[in-house]
Amino acid sequence: MDHDNTRNLIRQTAPTPTEHPNVSPAVIRRLPRYFRYLRELIRQGKLRISSGELSRLMGVTASQIRQDLNCFGGFGQQGYGYNVNFLYENICELLGVDAGLQAIIIGAGDLGRALVRAPMFEKRGVNIVSMFDVDPALIGRTVGGVLIRNMTELERFCSEISVDMAVLTLPKDRAAEEAERLVACGIRGLWNFTGKELEFEDSKVAVENVHLGDSLMILNYKLCENTDDKD
Amino acid sequence: MDHDNTRNLIRQTAPTPTEHPNVSPAVIRRLPRYFRYLRELIRQGKLRISSGELSRLMGVTASQIRQDLNCFGGFGQQGYGYNVNFLYENICELLGVDAGLQAIIIGAGDLGRALVRAPMFEKRGVNIVSMFDVDPALIGRTVGGVLIRNMTELERFCSEISVDMAVLTLPKDRAAEEAERLVACGIRGLWNFTGKELEFEDSKVAVENVHLGDSLMILNYKLCENTDDKD
DNA sequence: TAGATTGTTAATCGATTAACAATC
DNA sequence: TAGATTGTTAATCGATTAACAATC
């Protein structure tokens, strides 16, 4: 491995130039949580933190934190811990926060309009460049500063403006066909709220499914389980 | 297709009267998916299915299906497979679909209004009995047939009507305090969209967190990872 | 009965936790 | 140097898959 012997205690360059194969899904799903906690630590003006201190804060083991972070390179330093800003910047890099990702929303119904107005995208460096719908009553309107275009304009729009991801909030029964169409337009990421399970053979297309119905049912289960308990 | 010429072959009573301790979270999180696939099979008029056939349909191993279902009792029959209706009914029971659960939504902003109009709750047997907000411009209005009440009326409302769960779509910074208030009102389930991590020591309160920001970041990661791949 | 398929135990795999040598 | 804390290997735990006896 690389061992640049820096006399200054904290190395300020990433050890390897972002190449991370074979990182387990379990680790990846935990990264956003590190991102949030580090952002909060920065807000508090904290400069360094040890895996032990962070573990107490987050309610996980220090071992897990060190293992997780080591998947992506040595962000810490023996005897010192982790430089909060340096670690945060590296995690931002991993999560593409400063990659200038551009998104469109397919479907300007209740959920689409709720999402476009949420500060979530801006906070995470994702720029919403347009919404699309088939409803003439919606086309031409602006929600949260974003214009709703006719779905027929999709291909032309994507050929003119580089779009990285699409947020799918359209009806379930049209999800599969429109997803194919989006991929044909060169879009490589789908944030899928439709409830339809989408799959792409060539894993060039990243899909993140948000199945709210499933989430609700899990709550139902936990609730009934607690109730069933013969005190 | 396959008509059921099995007189007494299929047992139609649940083997144990719903007592399921120590079922792993991994299994529980898969239950809603079984629910969806079984519902679809019923729609298609299918009467029986083997773990092998279902495994091909769902893209999981037959072994996993048999292990999962066996956590809750013997729903199948050797040499036959599973009776679709019987299995579906048992999973509905586990997921509280016919338990007549009653819910309120806290926060009548964009997301709250989008959720209340979604058919999701009705499909899963959850009845939304009221929304609550602090904004005078919203209080008194009706969305999706549900009245928005003043948050000050929460305690009185809950003392008059039995409420099982609350959907939290209020601002993050008020989440913790309002959650405490809801639990004090006797509510035992929280569907939490606030982004604030909620915890309750006495596990009498079921919490299901939906962290949309985290989900978006995971998509970001996958997208950047694909892109980074040197062609 | 013979064939099919479950329920269940045993084997494998992966993820988490513990331990400690390396080293700042 | 001495103390602290990482990076990393080894041990443990849990979840998935394979195998097969039970039995419909």
Phi and psi at residue A147, in whole multiples of 5°?
A: -80, 135
pLDDT per residue over A21-32, tens digit each?
Answer: 789 999 999 999
Helix axis angle for A110-117 and B110-117, nearest 10°, is 160
Q: What is the pLDDT of residue A195?
A: 95
- Please indicate whether, in this complex, the C-beta atoms of B191 and A215 are within 8 angstroms of each other: yes
Is residue A169's pLDDT more than 80?
yes
Closest C-alpha among B229, B231, B219, B223 to residue A21 = B229
Nucleotide nearest to B76 (CA to C1'): C6
Among candidates A19, A125, A226 on the partner chain, residue whose Cβ is nearest the Cβ of B206: A226
Q: What is the pLDDT of residue B153?
A: 98
Is B12 within 7 A of strand D by CB distance?
A: no
A54 at interface of B, judged by CB pairs closer than 8 A: no
C-beta within 7 A of nucleic chain C, residues 51-70 of A? 60-61, 63-64, 66-67
- Please indicate whether, in this complex, the C-beta atoms of A188 and B113 are within 8 angstroms of each other: no
- Give the residue nearest to nucleotide C17 (CA to C1'): A63
The Cα–Cα gap between A75 and A10 comes to 9
Closest C-alpha among A57, A105, A117, A109 to residue A81 = A57
Q: What is the pLDDT of residue A4?
A: 33
Q: What is the pLDDT of residue B156?
A: 98
- Please indicate whether, in this complex, the C-beta atoms of A95 and B217 are within 8 angstroms of each other: yes
Beta-carbon contacts of A125 under 8 Å, excluding residues fewer than 6 positions away, are A92, A96, A97, A98, A99, A100, A101, B220
State the DSSP code for B197.
P
The Cα–Cα gap between A220 and B120 comes to 13
Tell me the percentage of chain B whose pLDDT exceeds 90.
84
Residue numbers in A near B217 (CB within 8 A): 31-32, 35, 95, 97, 124
B57 at interface of A, judged by CB pairs closer than 8 A: no
Q: What is the pLDDT of residue B43?
A: 97
The Cα–Cα gap between B1 and B108 comes to 48
Least confident range of A6-15, A45-54, A133-142, B180-189: A6-15
B122 at interface of A, judged by CB pairs closer than 8 A: no
Among candidates A95, A113, A188 on the partner chain, residue whose Cβ is nearest the Cβ of B226: A188
The Cα–Cα gap between A217 and B16 comes to 22
Q: What is the pLDDT of residue A72?
A: 94
Q: What is the pLDDT of residue A145?
A: 97
Q: What is the pLDDT of residue A19?
A: 67
Residue numbers in A near B219 (CB within 8 A): 165, 189-191, 206-208
A141 at interface of B, judged by CB pairs closer than 8 A: no
Q: What is the pLDDT of residue B73?
A: 87
Q: What is the pLDDT of residue A180?
A: 96
Shortest distance, CA B224 to any CA of chain A (angstroms): 6
Tell me the percentage of chain A whose pLDDT exceeds 70.
90
A184 at interface of B, judged by CB pairs closer than 8 A: no
Number of H helices and E strands in chain B, helices first, is 9, 10
- Please indicate whether, in this complex, the C-beta atoms of B217 and A29 are within 8 angstroms of each other: no
| Class (C level, CATH) for B101-214 | alpha beta
Q: What is the pLDDT of residue A15?
A: 38
Q: What is the pLDDT of residue A8?
A: 36
Confidence of residue A3 (pLDDT cuts 50, 70, 90): very low
* Residue to test with chain A: of B30, B146, B167, B219, most A Cβ within 10 A: B219
Residue stretches of chain B with pLDDT short of 70: 1-19, 228-231
A120 at interface of B, judged by CB pairs closer than 8 A: yes
- Please indicate whether, in this complex, the C-beta atoms of A28 and B223 are within 8 angstroms of each other: no
A213 at interface of B, judged by CB pairs closer than 8 A: yes
pLDDT per residue over B119-131, tens digit each?
Answer: 999 999 999 999 9
Closest C-alpha among A216, A129, A196 to residue B191 = A216
pLDDT per residue over A82-136, tens digit each?
Answer: 999 999 999 999 999 999 999 999 999 999 999 999 999 999 999 999 999 999 9
Q: What is the pLDDT of residue A14?
A: 40
Q: Given strand B189-192, what is the order of strands in its sheet?
A: B142-143, B146-150, B126-133, B101-106, B165-168, B189-192, B206-209
**CATH code reported for the domain at B3-94:** 1.10.10.10
Segments in A139-200 forming alpha helices (H) = 154-160, 172-184
Phi and psi at residue B160, in whole multiples of 5°?
A: -95, -35
The Cα–Cα gap between B196 and A124 comes to 16
Q: Where are the domains of chain B?
A: 3-94, 101-214
- Please indicate whether, in this complex, the C-beta atoms of A19 and B113 are within 8 angstroms of each other: no
What's at B111, amino acid-wise? Answer: L
Interatomic CA–C1' length for residue B79 and nucleotide C3, angstroms = 8
Q: What is the pLDDT of residue B141?
A: 98
One fold for A3-94 and A101-214: no
